[in-house]
Structures are given as C-alpha cells and as structure tokens.
Amino acid sequence: MKAIEVFPYCNDLRDCFYDTYAALTEDQINWKPDNHKNNIAFLLRHVAQAEDWFVRSIVLGQDMVPKRKAELPTVVEILDYLKSSREQTLNVLTSMTVEDLSQTRSLGEGFRGGAREGATVHWIFNRMFQHESYHYGQVNMLMRLQGLEPPKM
C-alpha cells in the first residue's frame, strides 16, 4: 500500500479554494486589518513555504531554502508555489509505502512547535495538512472582513 492512500483527502480544501483565491486582486491579498500582523498574501505564501520545508528539508533531508516574498510578489506566483509544493508532496507520498510513514525524523530549529525528536513521517505529513487548514481559515476570515465571499466547501 502506498503512503498516499493514508491521505486520500489531502487536496479537498485546495481543490475548493484555488479558483476563489486566484480571483483576488493585489489590493485584496495585501490588505490587513489594523493591528493585525498578516495578510492573505503572507498566509498563502507561508502555507507553500511550510509544505516545501516539511517535505524537502524534514522528510527528504535536503538542504533547501523556501521561496521568499521577493520571489512571490503576486497571487499567481503564490498559487503556483502552492501547486508545485503540493505536486512535490504527492510525488513523495506516491513513492513511499505505508511502512515508510513510521520512519522518524527530527524537527529542530525552524519548527515553530519547538524541537521534536522522533516525529514519525506520518505525524509530519498530518501536521503539515493541519497547518494548511488552520491558515486557510485565517485567509477566509480576512476575505470576510473585506466583504468578500470565501470559497465554498
């Protein structure tokens, strides 16, 4: 059995949200309420960066630096990064077996949850997908605060 079979719904939110997010203007993705730290552009960029980091750096053990803000100035570039990072994730999950998910990795500096020894690859992917959902909720809230209709689920 392939590891991808453990995460059959990993694209549900992305499949529902992409078209709505792609229609946002530069003003809309860069807007943030007073005293609020992040805007939509930051949150979507962060989701892509985190997925890229979790998969390439932690799961695959590659030296890498996620794409930064200067490389992702518009919603088109940000969504392209989300798509390419997810394609990478799906390729890795398709190449792994379910047994591979029990391998462990260390999450050191760079993981906001704090250093973690012995995290299973399954836990890492699960955390990555949860992280994405959390931030999509924030994106949708920021859309509502602008009077925009968030994506239908």
Residue range 28-38, pLDDT digits in tens: 999 999 988 99
Cβ-based neighbour number of residue 107 at 10 Å: 20
Judging by DSSP bridges, how do beta strands 116-120 and 104-107 pair with one another? antiparallel
Q: Is residue 152 part of a domain?
A: no
Q: Is residue 86 part of a domain?
A: yes
Q: Give me the number of domains the chain comprises.
A: 1
Here the tokens at position 80 are 């392209």
Q: Is residue 27 part of a domain?
A: yes
Residues 6+ apart with CB under 8 A from 20: 149, 150, 151
Banded pLDDT at 107 (limits 50, 70, 90) = confident
Banded pLDDT at 111 (limits 50, 70, 90) = low
Q: Are 124 and 54 in contact (CB under 8 A)?
A: yes
Q: Cα–Cα distance between 121 and 135 in angstroms, integer?
A: 21
The domain that contains 65 carries what CATH number?
Answer: 1.20.120.450
Give percent of the chain above pLDDT 90.
Answer: 84
Q: Is residue 40 part of a domain?
A: yes
Residue-level pLDDT at 53: 93
**What is the pTM assigned to this prediction?**
0.92
Q: Is residue 130 part of a domain?
A: yes
